[in-house]
Amino acid sequence: MERVRLYDRDMPSRTGVGMFAQVLLAEWPELPVEEEGRLHDPFLRETFLEAVFATARLRELFRGAWKTKDLVAFHTAEKLSLLAHDPEAYRELGRLVARQAELPRDELQATYSRRFLLAFRQPASRGRHVNVLQHMLGYFKDTLPSELRHEVLDLVEDFRAGLVPLAVPLTLLRHHVRAQGVAYLAGQTYLDPAPKRLKLRSVVI
């Protein structure tokens, strides 16, 4: 999309964004795009694929005659994913959903969609993942024995230090979510943002 030879008369002068990509991105800056060669980088590949599947979920929401309760349920399920990618978008979209009754339906859909998709263009940093993992662990403060909480915390710290991939602490947290029946966490797209066969979050980044 970006590393295209640009021609000035007869000679290629530099590389940049091709004409088609330039028009496309100008019209839809929130569209998830990435250079094919850059997808060999696990971090960039993960960011791109999460954005693609977030886009698919959003389109599914607005495909039919959605209701305000549908948007509330959708946003609730996306909260931790948004927090990992773009905390400011997490707050902005929360305020937007809270005042949705004040906005025309088309304006609400367009505004929510654009900000939501732009949020997933932002890579989820290791620090923000740690914040989300600790936030999730907070739901177990009264139900999970101390030694089991510390087991999770140790893995979170290993992830923070770059010793293990995100999948390691997240797998243990996912187990506790299901074992304890924490409905709010069980419904979060953050736990499974893409099909398992893509093996996201399995590489140390």
pLDDT tens-digit series, residues 50-71: 999 999 999 999 999 999 999 9
Residue 75 has which token pair?
């946003």
Which of 84, 73, 71, 31 is CA-nearest to residue 201? 84
C-alpha–C-alpha distance, residues 157 and 70, integer Å: 36
Query: Maximum Cα–Cα distance for the chain, whole Å?
Result: 71
- pTM comes to 0.83
Q: Which residue did the predictor score with more confidence, 4 or 174?
A: 174
% of the chain beyond a pLDDT of 90: 76
Domain boundaries, the chain: 1-31, 41-120, 126-198
pLDDT tens-digit series, residues 137-167: 999 999 999 999 999 999 999 999 999 999 9
Other CB atoms within 10 A of residue 12 CB: 10
Helix, strand, coil tally for the chain in percent (to 5): 65, 5, 30
Other CB atoms within 10 A of residue 62 CB: 15
C-alpha–C-alpha distance, residues 197 and 45, integer Å: 14
8-state DSSP, 13: E
